[in-house]
Amino acid sequence: MDWLLDLTPDEWNAVRLSIKVATVAMVASLPPGILIALVLARGQFWGKTLLNGLVHLPLILPPVVIGYLLLLSFGRRGPVGAFLAEHFGIVFSFRWTGAALACAVMGFPLMVRAIRLSIEAVDRRIEAAAGTLGANPLWVFATITLPLILPGLITGAILSFAKAMGEFGATITFVSNIPNQTQTLPSAIYTFTQVPGGDAGALRLTLISIVISMAALVASEVLARRVGRRMDIE
Amino acid sequence: MTVVVDISHRLGDFEVDARFESAGRLTALFGPSGSGKTTLINMIAGLIRPDKGRIEADGRVLVDTDAGRFVPKHKRRIGMVFQDARLFPHMSVASNLRYGRWFTPTAERYADINAVIDLLGIGALLDRRPAKLSGGEKQRVAIGRALLASPKLLLMDEPLASLDEARKAEILPYIERLRDETKIPIVYVSHSVSEVARLASDVVVLAQGKVAACGPTGAIMQRLDLLPAEERGEGGAVLDTAVLRHDNVFGMTVLGSVAGEIRVPLLAVPVGAPMRVRIRARDVMIATEQPTGLSALNILQGTIVTMAPGEGPAVEIGIDCHGATVLARITEQSRQTLKLRLGREVYAVVKTVSFDPANMSAGLPVEADG
């Protein structure tokens, strides 16, 4: 076991960075994920199919394409990137924040799908009942809808986290593979496979990656079950 | 408190075009399924926006399409009890009950949580989840939840329809207490003659989206033609009476009504308590002279005031007994044999044992003479 945990500082940094990137990507995409899922599940408007297609693009396009598109729009010279850098001092390109953005975008369709399904399963008549008791639509959402879709939120969040842990193509295209800065676990593994004698390092990181992903999955299962039991939905 | 509804609304092929006004303590919207009663109550609650028309409650205009006014449901302060309870599955019974209180301005909170829990007998359920409740318990909690929002009007949409007879019998007394002990006016949707006769002070009869009749329960229940075919057998006169005395030797209670004394199986209610009885038309016999040597104990004297053909061989005869009309359903053959005609003096005969819990209930307080 010792050889497994005997990581170099660079490798540890890759592990830490991956967890940080995945967590930030997951947390940051939750609010827009809920909003888009709500709009897709309940809204009736022109262009709904288009929005749905847009959300699902990262699922069907090669990750490299997404990474390149991010580079074009969020890069230092890209329209969005330049604006954000100038007005808010937020820079994405070649920073860990860029990796988080790429991971968030790649995991977004999975998250929206899970949340959307759970919103569609909510009995709207129960929300109507809350309305007759005096709750305005915002309160109904906060006290009825949100608690009822909690299992879906957890599933969506974990899917996004897991996707972020494994994201490679978009990340490496957008923010490259700079050790200690943008080198996530998959990039580090890739680097090991490109150098002679890197097999042991690649295997170590692979096993760590499996452990983290499995732990996240188990945690979500336990959490979802506990929430489900607490609710005891009919 | 008056409820005024005057709306027209189109739902696919179905058109609701209804107008009524009621100031009753418990107004029943009565009609077969598909008559538009649930649509109407949903409009009063604010769950459906009518195409055209006006809804008023307690002088407050809730909907006026001409003026472009539509008060959203959460601002109406109208409680609603749904057929399927619709409790919040992620909250305990106690949290369900308290939900509406949050949104009620403190000055307008009149409902006391302990009083409501006592009224509905749900004190033992407070820590439970809705999934662990029986159908009857769920419905009682749903009633409590609506009451605790301190509504100005309470709507009940077939609250008993999804329950079996035993559960119905469990809940009916609570609804009676609600009607008699709280001051909230109630609008109650039902397709059951026995529920309406038992609970309502006023009835609005709906058929195919239109109001077929509207008035006090006693008057409406005599119009057997208004009842849906499968409920005709349940139709009959509704009399508001008061307990005169108990006869413990024979196990009977004597009720006083304008029509005369009525003997029913012993009731566990105090002398003087108001009771409402429904005398089914099919349970009433007619005699042309004071019967003797007859087992039936209730013999009410009166004159024939209406005669209408009923289903099959039956005729429905209305007998005015000192101001209260009793209905009898007899065969056309009997009518001819007895030479019954309007204005003739007859005796309506009702067996004591034809009164059962389904046609007797705690009445709305009335002044009984007799």
Query: What tens-digit pLDDT sequence spans chain B (370 residues)?
Result: 789 999 999 988 889 999 999 888 899 999 888 888 999 999 999 999 999 999 999 889 999 999 999 999 999 999 999 999 999 999 999 999 999 988 998 888 888 899 899 888 899 999 999 999 998 899 999 999 999 999 999 999 999 988 888 888 888 888 888 888 888 899 999 988 888 988 999 999 998 899 998 988 888 887 777 777 777 778 888 888 899 999 989 889 999 988 889 999 998 888 988 888 889 888 999 999 988 888 888 999 999 998 888 878 889 899 999 988 899 999 999 999 999 999 999 999 999 888 887 778 877 654 333 3
- The pLDDT assigned to A173 comes to 93
Q: Are B3-221 and B237-362 in the same CATH fold?
A: no
- The pLDDT assigned to B368 comes to 37
Question: Is B88 within 8 Å of chain A by CB?
Answer: yes
DSSP track, A60-117: HS-HHHHHHHHHHHHSTTSHHHHHHHHHT----TTSHHHHHHHHHHHHHHHHHHHHHH
Domains of chain A, with CATH numbers? 20-182 (1.10.3720.10)
A41 sits in which H/E element: helix A9-42
Our CA-based measurement puts residue B254 at a distance from the nearest CA of chain A, in whole angstroms, of: 44
A38 sits in which H/E element: helix A9-42
> Tokens at residue B128, please?
């439970």
- The pLDDT assigned to B186 comes to 94
Dist CA B325 CA B302 (whole Å): 9
- The pLDDT assigned to A231 comes to 63
Domain B3-221 fold: Rossmann fold (3.40.50)
CB contact under 8 A, A133 and B146: yes
- The pLDDT assigned to A61 comes to 94
- The pLDDT assigned to B166 comes to 82
Whether the predicted model's global pTM rises above the 0.90 cut: no
Cβ atoms within 10 Å, residue B261: 16
Dist CA A189 CA A209 (whole Å): 10
Dist CA B164 CA B136 (whole Å): 9
| Cα atoms found within 13 Å of the Cα of residue B84, Cβ hemisphere only | 12
CB contact under 8 A, B104 and A134: yes
Dist CA B61 CA B84 (whole Å): 28
- The pLDDT assigned to B122 comes to 92
In 3-state terms, what secondary structure has residue B348? strand
CATH code of the domain occupying B237-362: 2.40.50.100
CB contact under 8 A, B149 and A231: no
Question: Taking the domains of chain B in order of start, what are their residue ranges?
Answer: 3-221, 237-362
- The pLDDT assigned to A232 comes to 54
Are the CB atoms for B10 and B36 separated by under 8 Å?
A: no
Dist CA B49 CA B37 (whole Å): 15
- The pLDDT assigned to B66 comes to 93
For chain B, helix, strand, coil in percent to 5 are 30, 35, 35
Structure confidence by residue, pLDDT tens digits, A176-225: 998 888 899 999 999 999 989 888 889 989 999 999 888 888 888 888 78
* Contacts with B74 from chain A: Cβ below 8 Å: 131-137
DSSP state of A144: I
Q: Are strands B26-30 and B14-22 parallel, antiparallel or unpaired?
A: unpaired
Complex confidence, ipTM: 0.81
Question: Is B163 within 8 Å of chain A by CB?
Answer: no
CB contact under 8 A, B46 and A131: yes
- The pLDDT assigned to B178 comes to 87
The parts of chain A modelled with pLDDT lower than 70 are: 1-5, 230-234
- B47: CB partners within 8 A, 6+ apart: A128, A131, A132, B73, B80
- The pLDDT assigned to B365 comes to 59
- The per-type count for chain B, helices as H runs and strands as E runs, is 8, 21
* Of residues A125, A133, A147, nearest to B90 (C-beta): A147
Which has the closest alpha carbon to A20: A99, A127, A124?
A99
Which of B38, B88, B98, B138 has the most A C-beta neighbours within 10 Å, making it the best mutation to test the interface with A? B88
Which has the closest alpha carbon to B194: B233, B136, B242, B252?
B233
The mean predicted confidence, pLDDT, of chain A is 90
